[in-house]
Structure 1
């Protein structure tokens, strides 16, 4: 396997890990605000706080690995996406700052403030929506070259149905993933009222999730027929994704095996993202950046792969330690620590 494919595989892993972990975090923020508005915060917010307290600082590590890995492994990607994502990226940084201030001041009452909780919940939806712009741009047709610089065609972006389909899919996926994990977490904590409420959220967001996926799939056929045809050749991956979606929803509906249900959710997105990524080959950015042609030099690529491996060797044990000490520790989950 070439170093370009190895590097791209590592980047894909970081993106997938960020998709799952960040979705739980972002969705929890929305559910915390919604619970406050519907007078159900006494049911959910203690459970959500037990999950977020040890995890929120880790969430962005995967995205940092992905972002810098993409920029260094494919230098042209840093130039094109950096220019195109200047405004969306700035919005993301601002919203991350807002979330950080919420975490920093939660012990001083920010969790009970409707304004702070609104900003916390809204940022959890706007961040994935802004990041999803990068996937939209990667399909081609949204950039223009002028005087040696690259600019994003904002009018085309904001009026393109495919762009909004991707945003819709990103937001719905965040809520769907988060509801499933928090249902499992509430069940493990023995918190029956929270489990029942979160189970209803997981079932509710199942229909929008499949509708959003099909909508994005349909519109990509118009935006990028070549990518669409490549994904059709990988139909079995998307078939497995749908199968795990059905199994996960069935288990939640039957109120059993919530841990297995969440594993099915992860496998659902694993195969969907894998099929999307393989179908995107050989381009990172259609008509601009090719994986093999625009990768960094072999020596630099090898050094980056070693750095990726070293980062994972430090990151994965840290995550396992956090999970064992906090997330899946029986006493901590039940609020006894």
Structure 2
């Protein structure tokens, strides 16, 4: 395994960690709004607030590491993706700013206004939708190159079934992961009123997520046949394991047992699906213009980045686990006693 492969592996781990942690955050925001509109906020919003208060500030650290590392390891991505993703990336940054600002207003202001809560919640769904555009474009077919000039085919992007399927999958996955965690969290808190509601959300969003995942594969066959064939022929077992994890998580939730194990199954489900997609995509980062070998940083720079980013993982993941242990999973804190 050379430096480029190690580099993309480390970056993919950062992105996976961001997807899990951010999905819990983004989905919880939407469920807060849903509960408020349906007058169920007294049942569940206190549970969501206990999770978000100590965690929300550190969510984006993983994404910052991934973005900086991607440009550091593979400078050519800045040339290609930086040009064509200027608008989607700008939208994501604006939404992140709105979300952070309105989170502060909601939690530290004198009252909670529905307009603030709506902006906070909807921004949490639009962020993964806008970021998913990068994965869509990376499959190829949306960029034209004239010398050094790059153009994004906006019409084809907006009219593409593959593009919209990835967007909807990103949104549904956020709601699925978040409701899975909240089900586990409510059971640990022994908050049975909230548990009944979030458990229903988790069971509800599971089947649509699987259906949309299958639709993404069907449209990927049209968009990038080479990637589709590699995924289904060489790495099919990773997607089968992912589906088995989904079934186990669903059965445990339906049986109202071992919700901690069920959420671990959710994480493993996402892990195998996400890494199966990533491995089958190699060597391309942006089809057909950028590969992990073409445009990668030189050996000394790559080694320095690998050491720095592994150190970042060693620091960030234990810190997050410690934060969870001290606050989120503290026996008294989780039950609202402190």
Structure 1 position 219 matched with structure 2 position 219: yes
Q: How many residue pairs are counted as aligned between the two chains?
A: 337
1:88 aligns with 2:71: no
Whether the aligned pair in 2 keeps the contact of 1:102 and 1:111 (CA below 8 Å) is: no
Q: How far off is 1:144 after superposition?
A: 1.8
TM-score normalised according to structure 1 size: 0.98
Q: Extract unaligned runs of 5+ from structure 2.
A: none
Matches for 1:1-337 after TM superposition, within 5 Å: 1-109=1-109, 112-146=112-146, 148-232=148-232, 233-337=234-338
> C-alpha deviations, 1:271-307, integer Å up to 9, x for none?
0011101110111111100112221111110010111
From the superposition, tell whether residues 179 and 110 of structure 1 become closer, same or farther in structure 2 (CA, over 3 Å).
farther
Residue 207 of structure 2 aligns to a residue whose secondary structure is: helix
Aligned Cα RMSD in Å? 1.1
How far apart, CA to CA, are the structure 2 residues paired with 1:107 and 1:93?
A: 21
Q: Is the CA contact (8 Å cut-off) linking 1:111 and 1:117 kept in structure 2?
A: no
Cα distance in 2 between the residues matched to 1:160 and 1:274: 24
1:147 deviation in Å?
Answer: 5.9
| Aligned 8 A contact 1:4 1:295 in 2 | yes
Which range moved further: 174-183 or 137-146? Answer: 137-146
1: CA distance between counterparts of 2:304 and 2:133? 30
- Once the two structures are TM-superposed, the CA of residue 108 in structure 1 deviates from its matched residue by 4.0
SS in 1 for 2:59: helix
In 2, distance between residues paired with 1:65 and 1:301? 15
Partners of 2:106 and 2:117 within 8 A in 1: no
Give 4+ residue runs of structure 1 displaced > 3 Å after superposition.
107-111
CA contact (8 A) 1:136 1:166 kept: yes
TM-score normalised by structure 2 residue count = 0.98
- 1:149 shift after superposition: 2.4
Cα deviation digits, residues 95-120 of structure 1 (max 9, x gap): 11111112222234477211011101
Distance 2:87 2:81 in 1: 11
